[in-house]
Structure 1
Amino acid sequence: MTSHQPPANRPLTIALCAGEASGDLLGAHLMAAIKQRCPQAHFVGIGGPRMLAKGFESLYDQEKLAVRGFAEVVKRLPEILKIRRGLVRDLKRIRPDVFVGIDAPDFNLGVAEKLKKAGIPTVHYVSPSVWAWRRERVNTIVEQVNRVLCLFPMEPQLYQEAGGRAEFVGHPLAQTLPLDADRDAARRHMKIEPWEPVFCLMPGSRVSEIDYMAPIFFRTARLLLQRYPSARFLLPVATVATRSRLISILHQGEFIGLPIQLMSAHADLACTAADVVLVTSGTATLEVALCKRPMVISYKISPLTYAYVKRKINVPHVGLPNILLGKGAVPELLQDDATPAKLAAAVAEWYESPQDVAALQQDFLNLHRLLQKDTDALAASAVLAEAGIAAAVPEAAPEAV
């Protein structure tokens, strides 16, 4: 293996690759934490708008990587592979002090493997869901990267048993979102009356998800509006591309006139202000849980992708809150069950059951406490340690006498 020898007389260079909106958020937080210790650090690779706002140098358009599902990836595969080859080539030339792949394991682990063989230290930030499906990936991952940073407490042991290095750094959302989600304050901020029925729609952070889920969610909103004529709907938007697609769908005849308010980001504010959230399965479900709001989880993908995924899953739930709580705390309406009538009925059941909501909020508070660590600092320490910055790990605070 080639030894890691970055060019002399240049600032610490950290390569990051975030393939979608949730990775962009993690990347931005990681950059901020690293800059606190190494203000001159330079960041390069692939990132989104939050990372770019912090001075990130993105070599390729992040949106081109934001696809999901087997059938969808196949259509875009030549373009994705071309970007991956280009990124590996560019980073071998740049020779960063460390490469951090943020989520998007199908893309990033292949990049990490090639860079590790070229003598560049590699970290994967966010363990794939190896505890849920395709557990055999663990053995491959420990060969591809030097270290895995895990967001959930049950993950590190799987890598350690396979001879790898991994640590639980907590979940960044649990660090940034308050334990006490103040619904009334969120409504005052948005000028929403306390009595108004408010529902948050979260159809996904990728254009491909929007295409599947937004029409279903909008038809659900229409049914809820019949039941609650004064209802309003909040829809936080992750990217410019998803906003454009959502506007296009809302201009279709059946959806014209729906009281849906598109919001640039601010998903936490929209969730906290809502009575109930209708959300596509993914990281967003955890954000809703940490905002202590009842939700209905849904998902619909191509039949080909669904048939493949269903055979590989070995957990009883797909929504992160249900998985982490070890029970069906919130309903999951997937694939053929993802109909507007069923979704509207499930949302209405939460809206009309305040006692059930109160019990759920206590479960979500316990979950929040479990996941709450100084995630950004822990992740930054691990990344800087791999980059050879020995002083990266902060000293433990002295114990009180």
Structure 2
Amino acid sequence: MGNAVRIAMVAGEASGDLLASHLIAALKARLPDAVFYGIGGPRMEAQGFDAWWPMEKLAVMGYVDALKHYREIAGIRRQLKKRLLDIRPDIFIGVDAPDFNLGLETDLKSAGVKTIHYVSPSIWAWRGGRIKKIARAVNRVLALFPMEPPLYEKERIPVTYVGHPLADIIPLETNKLAVREKLALPRDYPIFALLPGSRQGELAMMAETFVQTAKLIRERYLPNALFVVPLTTRETRLQFEMAIYTQQAGEVPFRLLFGHAQDALGAADVSLVASGTATLEAALIKRPMVITYKIAKLSYWIMKRMAYQPFVGLPNVLAGREVVPEILQDQATPENLAEALVKLYEDKENAEVVADVFTEIHYRLRQNTAEKAANAVIECLN
């Protein structure tokens, strides 16, 4: 293998940035001269990745949002494809973002560039048509979840189960009192973590509902409840502060954090989590949660029709049953959410059952992901 291995990558959002940064670090340990370039985020750049476009350009939400940004994204993909076909990297790794990456991978693979897709698109959640597309696009899939490899093996697509990096990072036990002390929160008050999402589109849909839910919990059920809200960006923090203002919830004790989702979840008795990777973080921290989501009505209708999984939230999908409640779309009213959260808070026996199920999931997902993924990439390169 020549001296400098050239590895092109595309990640589309924060969770992909995290995965890719760990993979880059593991690959650099084995291939010290390798160069990495493409589209990525700040964590990848911190590992020496050369981002030709910032990742934010690709982070859209739902079908309707995607249509609005279609021309810009299609333009980026055309330019990127041309550059990659000109310089022909040794391998291309698409990190999640299947709508952007699979088409690109198909073109690169048919031109003789090796392609890996890291993070199986959720074929377990969607009708199986997508798997044929994946077969044309990739030399190998790196799968994060144990229910995925059998689906690929059935179609004779090379697949490696690598586990989930969050299961490596998050300790098997999180001490609630220690985290409360770290965040200077009282030891014995009811504390709820609110995770309304990481993107502005999600906050636009969820922030007011989350604020009203907290307000109701204080007014109707637990007057001494506190609410910890981790937000990932300045924009989303502003959106949440705006919602507190418009809902006249200035009296409610919200503690807004920059990042620190795991601390917020660890300090909480119960969490309200907008569906996504955060639900997996909450599961690995072993606390009960309510999973909620609202998207544009049209997008939801399309998703409902295409899905064949009964659950939206990863914790329930991984457990194969409803371990924690999912309250979605029109059902996701502040009344319903507040009632469900308080019920979980009061049911200490259920909290133990939930913790046991999530501990078992944690062991299954803890696979030393970055190492396993790096080995698969190197095998593909050779």
Q: TM-score range by the shorter chain?
A: over 0.9
| Residue aligned with 1:59, SS | strand
CA RMSD of aligned residues (A): 1.7
Aligned pairs, number: 381
| Residue aligned with 2:308, SS | coil
Give the match for residue 175 of structure 1: 168
Indicate yes or no: 2:326 matched with 1:332: yes
Provide the rounded CA distance (Å) in 2 between the counterparts of 1:298 and 1:201. Answer: 11
Provide the rounded CA distance (Å) in 1 between the counterparts of 2:281 and 2:145. Answer: 14
Give the match for residue 153 of structure 2: 160
Q: Contact 2:10 / 2:101 at 8 angstroms: preserved in 1?
A: yes
Provide the TM-score with structure 2 as the length reference.
0.95
2:181 is aligned with what amino acid? R
Provide the TM-score with structure 1 as the length reference.
0.91
Q: Contact 2:167 / 2:366 at 8 angstroms: preserved in 1?
A: yes
Q: Contact 1:100 / 1:125 at 8 angstroms: preserved in 2?
A: yes
Give the match for residue 275 of structure 1: 269
Provide the rounded CA distance (Å) in 1 between the counterparts of 2:29 and 2:232. Answer: 27
| Residue aligned with 1:214, SS | helix
1:333 is aligned with what amino acid? I
Provide the rounded CA distance (Å) in 2 between the counterparts of 1:78 and 1:26. Answer: 27
2:191 is aligned, of 195, 198, 208, to: 198
Provide the rounded CA distance (Å) in 2 between the counterparts of 1:42 and 1:260. Answer: 44
Higher mean C-alpha displacement, 245-254 vs 224-233: 245-254
2:115 is aligned, of 108, 113, 122, to: 122
Q: String of CA shifts for 1:231-252, please: whole Å, max 9, x gaps.
A: 2222222334433433444443
Give the match for residue 296 of structure 2: 302
Q: String of CA shifts for 1:147-204, please: whole Å, max 9, x gaps.
A: 0000111211211221210111111111111111221221121122210221111111
Provide the rounded CA distance (Å) in 2 between the counterparts of 1:300 and 1:333. Answer: 9
Unaligned runs of 5+ in 2: none
1:290 is aligned with what amino acid? L
Higher mean C-alpha displacement, 43-52 vs 86-95: 86-95
Higher mean C-alpha displacement, 290-299 vs 45-54: 45-54
Q: CA deviation at 1:27?
A: 1.0
- 1:190-339 matched pairs, under 5 angstroms: 190-226=183-219, 227-252=221-246, 254-339=248-333
Higher mean C-alpha displacement, 196-205 vs 222-231: 222-231
- 1:76-115 matched pairs, under 5 angstroms: 76-115=69-108
Q: Percent identity, please.
A: 48
Distance 1:303 1:195, change over 3 A: same
1:380 is aligned with what amino acid? A
Indicate yes or no: 2:43 matched with 1:40: no
Q: Contact 1:21 / 1:239 at 8 angstroms: preserved in 2?
A: no
Provide the rounded CA distance (Å) in 2 between the counterparts of 1:16 and 1:183. Answer: 38
Q: String of CA shifts for 1:283-327, please: whole Å, max 9, x gaps.
A: 211110000011000011111111111011112111111111111
Indicate yes or no: 2:132 matched with 1:139: yes
Q: CA deviation at 1:270?
A: 1.1
Q: CA deviation at 1:257?
A: 4.5
Higher mean C-alpha displacement, 36-45 vs 365-374: 36-45
Give the match for residue 10 of structure 2: 17
Q: Contact 1:21 / 1:238 at 8 angstroms: preserved in 2?
A: no
Give the match for residue 397 of structure 1: none
Q: String of CA shifts for 1:6-47, please: whole Å, max 9, x gaps.
A: 9x76x2221111101111111111111112212232221111
Provide the rounded CA distance (Å) in 2 between the counterparts of 1:16 and 1:249. Answer: 37
Provide the rounded CA distance (Å) in 1 between the counterparts of 2:112 and 2:255. Answer: 49
Higher mean C-alpha displacement, 230-239 vs 184-193: 230-239
